[in-house]
Amino acid sequence: MTPMATLTRDEARTRAGLLEVHTYAIDLDLTRGEDTFASTTTVRFSTREAADTFIEFRPHTLHRATLDGHDLDPGTLVDGRLPLTGLAVGPHELTVTADMPYSHTGEGMHRFTDPADGLTYLYSMCCMTDGPLVYAAFDQPDLKATFDVTVTAPEEWTVLGNGIATPVAGAPGRWRCATTPPISTYLMAVAAGPYHSVRTEHAGLPFGIHVRQSLAPYLDQDADEILGITRAVFDRYHEILDEPYPFDSYDQAFVPEFNAGAMENPGLVTLRDEYIYRSAVTDTQRQLRGVVIAHEMAHMWFGDLVTLRWWDDIWLNESFAEFMGYQVLADAVPHFTPWTEFAVDRKSWGYDADQRPTTHPVAPEPDGVPDTASAWLNFDGISYAKGASALRQLVTWLGEDTFLAGVNDHFARHRFGNATLADFIDAMARASGRDVHGWADAWLRTSGPDLLAPRVRETEEGWAVTLTHEGSRPHRLRLGVYDGARHRETLDVELGADEPAQEVTAGGHRPDLLIVNDGDLTYAKVRLDTPSWDTAQRVLSDLPDPLTRTVVWNAARDMVRDAELAPRAYLEAARRHLPAEPETAIVEGVLSFATGQIANRYLPTAAGRTEALGLLSDMAADLLNRARETKDEAKQLIAVRTAIRCATTERPLREWLADDAIGGDPELRWQILYRLAALGATQEAEIRAEAERDPGAKGEEGAARCLAALPQEAAKAAAWDALFDPADVLSNYLFTATAQGFWQAEEAQLELLRPYVARYFPAAAGVATRRGHALAVAAAKAAFPHPFTERATLTLAEAALREDLPAALHRKLTDETDDLRRALRVRSRS
């Protein structure tokens, strides 16, 4: 991949003061072979004063560059920057012609050949700094321009773009996309290939959903649901926002090997194609797909219409889209309950990120994001989940009508332009007449979660609770008062930013259960007093509201992570209550923590892990029996998945593989085979045969994962070489699958794997340096030696962090190292 200099905020500010960019005319030829495509960019721009500047471009081969009709020296292109010198005041035209590299890491122009049928698909991913891997760009968000894109592709292909793409008459394979309104460079998008499409029209606009041919049957069976949700959230946005949808069409392309969940390209949203389900899924998974659809549509306004000026305001894009995605889906599709999934899953992601040494404010100070390399690191649980939680708290304070009035004022003032945190806060202050600037300083400029803990005592008139507050934010929240599982009353509390404690009094007898932050309206870690935890262990699944139950489960999760509650106690609560828990999002969230963290990392002995897996297996059996009685297919699926993950012997796995209802599902078959591989109960031949049975991309990934999981020296060596040998260039998805399979927590695998622990850290640095941001993240997250929760691993990790590492790898390794420290603390007190 062509090296790239990091763009600094100061450079961007200087260039924004110098330039006004008018248009990009981009011509792409996708018929040049498997390795490169042709790209010609013509940029029309003006300069406000005589000066020198540069444009970003990362070609395979630069053929020619002309500025105002004069040739530039291609040899001046260094580190992805082409100098533009001696610019006079006034208009200019730059044309750059080059061959560009195809990507297999989801960056720039990604090329994928489907192993199911040999068909090839392309899509661009220009966020955040990868546009110059497709075309020449003044690549910063505040230099917006209109885009005219033409594409030459094989005749049988479909081409999609930001504007409506139409075939050029008399030129087979030639497509022209309609001119866009002014958009930022990172939002330019193209998808091309023999896509299968389902098209419709809504509100006078063409809508389309697209997927590779091998997934066509699965798209067709879900098309009504996907388009129904798309129409419903589109209509809801038009009910609450004054500005109409600002683009000429709405396409959603579900694309292979996509790094993010989705990308908000105007008029052409790209989403990972795992959202097209080829196997049984739970209602929570379908609901999450709906959230992603609503989230990306929110970006058409929050990010695309009005765009951040610099990357320190990522929250203006992501926190808003996260909040609006959940809220609008809840409003538009009444049978969905997305805020429960948010509370149990997304919010935990935010809390975890906010307690690591890499935490940062939702809206960092300007000097907190000095360059694009730093900005990449802030696409995390803080910018998404914590920021959305802060906005939910703001709505609780201002009221929904006032909040939306401020939003609409913000859009009216900055449509098709750029804005900052100060601009948004000014709009909210105008709409509300309140000190929103003070709120923003407390909520958006600070790091770490507050902690709210109750101390309950009886009084002569009834009872009182002292709510202690560790932190610096104001909170508007509710205290839920319960007699057993019966809700008695709700007490509203306003806690000042500088208020370390507040006493609340009430009549009647002392409650059995007091829940701080009932309804989950604020963002703070909470605690249960001892009598409340004792009661919760008896009545948790009977509490009437799913958000109430989620707050209790999250409190228990935090207490385990902070070594205040024994992991075994959490597992016993799960064993007792999950079979009767009605909300699938809660069941899935609790089980994810119980299996992924407690069973595999927090228990100090192999015997403890085996006992935990047995307890969870018993719970899964109870859950399955109850779900069969009630014909709850989602719960049955969760139970089977859990039983597979927790199986410790071959026999039940083989029985499920032979069961038509279970073994007929391709994803469940791979999960079973993966568990058999980890247990050493299968061989390469069986894995290869399964890959032939399931010849597509998911089968390829499943086989890679299973082969890497085999407890054999040759299998581990082959997997290691595939991951880290410079000659073997796995795609981002195959790298992740292989890494997931490689490290196993089974006692029989640990000695086989131990020699690789010390080798991991220099190997990860090598792949991150060679292959860029996406693989750096995968190397740190998926390939980290998680089963070795040991002091020796911590020593190696800390030593690695003292080396000069690529920024993305350093950030993720810092997070993994901190998680390792936490796991060791939990183990030491278990």
Task: Give the active site residues.
Answer: 296
Contact criterion met (CB below 8 Å) for 237 and 329:
no
- Residues, the chain: 830
**Rounded CA separation 233/329 (Å):** 6
Alpha helices (runs of H) in 631-709, residue ranges in sequence order: 633-646, 650-658, 660-663, 666-678, 684-693, 697-709
Between CA 175 and CA 208 the distance in angstroms is 17
User: Can you read off the two tokens belonging to residue 225?
Assistant: 């649901």
**C-alpha gyration radius of the chain:** 27
Closest alpha carbon to 303 in 384, 207, 390: 384
- Cα–Cα distance, 771 to 783 (Å, whole number): 15
DSSP letter for 559, please.
H
Helices 421-432 & 314-332 angle (0-180, nearest 10): 50
HSE value, Cβ hemisphere, 13 Å, CA-based, for 779: 32
Tell me if 781 sits within 8 A of 813, measured CB to CB: no
Q: Which of 176, 147, 154, 271 is nearest to 219 (CA)?
A: 271
End-to-end CA distance of the chain: 47
Alpha-carbon gap, residue 45 to 68, rounded angstroms: 11
The torsion region of residue 244 among left (phi > 0), alpha (psi -120 to 50) and beta comes to beta
- Report the 10 Å Cβ neighbour count for 467: 24
Q: What is the C-alpha separation between 743 and 753, in angstroms, rounded?
A: 7
Number of Cβ within a 10 Å radius of residue 120: 17
Q: How far apart are CA 480 and CA 513, in angstroms?
A: 8
> Are 160 and 253 within 8 A, CB to CB?
yes
- The DSSP element (H or E) to which 796 belongs, if any, is helix 791-801
By CB neighbour count within 10 A (0-12 exposed, 13-18 middle, 19+ buried), where does 330 fall?
buried
Taking the C-alpha atoms of residue 425 and residue 445, their distance in angstroms, rounded to an integer, is 13
Is the backbone of residue 173 left (phi > 0), alpha (psi -120 to 50) or beta? left
Helix, strand, coil shares, percent, the chain, to 5: 50, 20, 30
Distance CA 230, CA 167 (A): 26
**Cα separation values, 392 from 53, 57, 343, 389, Å:** 42, 40, 12, 5
Enumerate residues 6+ apart whose C-beta is below 8 A from 218. 211, 276, 277, 278
Residue 298: closest CA among 332, 272, 273, 274: 332
- Closest-CA residue to 795 (of 764, 766, 757, 827): 757
Strands 307-308 and 418-419 come out as parallel
CA distances in angstroms from 19 to 140, 189, 440, listed in the order given: 12, 23, 32
Helix (H) / strand (E) containing 463: strand 462-470
